[in-house]
């Protein structure tokens, strides 16, 4: 069984007991999240596709951890003008575990 779910404008293919990193949520560790924007649900032979969403379908997840991903270096340069800018960015994320798919 799997589902395609929309979480903060990103689409993820999720299965039960899957652990994945999504953009930061302000929930406490151990809290339960419910995602209602389910685009597709497949249970073996039975496939339901929404137009665009499936009514009544949801995905539940548990918050495991919060963290920051690896550093991305942003470097700008204009040749012959002595213009150089170096900047770094670390995106924050929430690690969740999918506990159930209904729909």
Measured distance CA(37)–CA(22) in Å, rounded = 15
pLDDT for 1-46, tens place per residue? Answer: 999 999 999 999 999 999 999 999 999 999 999 999 999 999 989 9
Q: If 0-12 CB within 10 Å is exposed, 13-18 middle and 19+ buried, where does residue 52 land?
A: exposed
pTM score of the predicted model: 0.85
The residue ranges of every structural domain in the chain are 2-102
pLDDT for 37-78, tens place per residue? Answer: 999 999 989 999 999 999 999 999 999 999 999 999 999 999
């Amino acid at each position: 069984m799997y589902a395609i779910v929309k979480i903060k404008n990103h689409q993820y293919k999720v299965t039960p007991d899957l652990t994945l990193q999504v953009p930061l949520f302000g929930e406490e560790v151990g809290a339960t999240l419910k995602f209602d924007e389910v685009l597709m649900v497949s249970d073996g032979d039975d496939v339901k596709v929404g137009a665009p969403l499936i009514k009544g379908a949801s995905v539940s997840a548990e918050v495991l951890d919060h963290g920051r991903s690896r550093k991305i270096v942003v470097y700008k340069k204009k040749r012959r003008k002595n213009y150089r800018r170096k900047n770094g960015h670390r995106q924050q994320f929430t690690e969740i575990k999918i506990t159930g798919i209904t729909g």
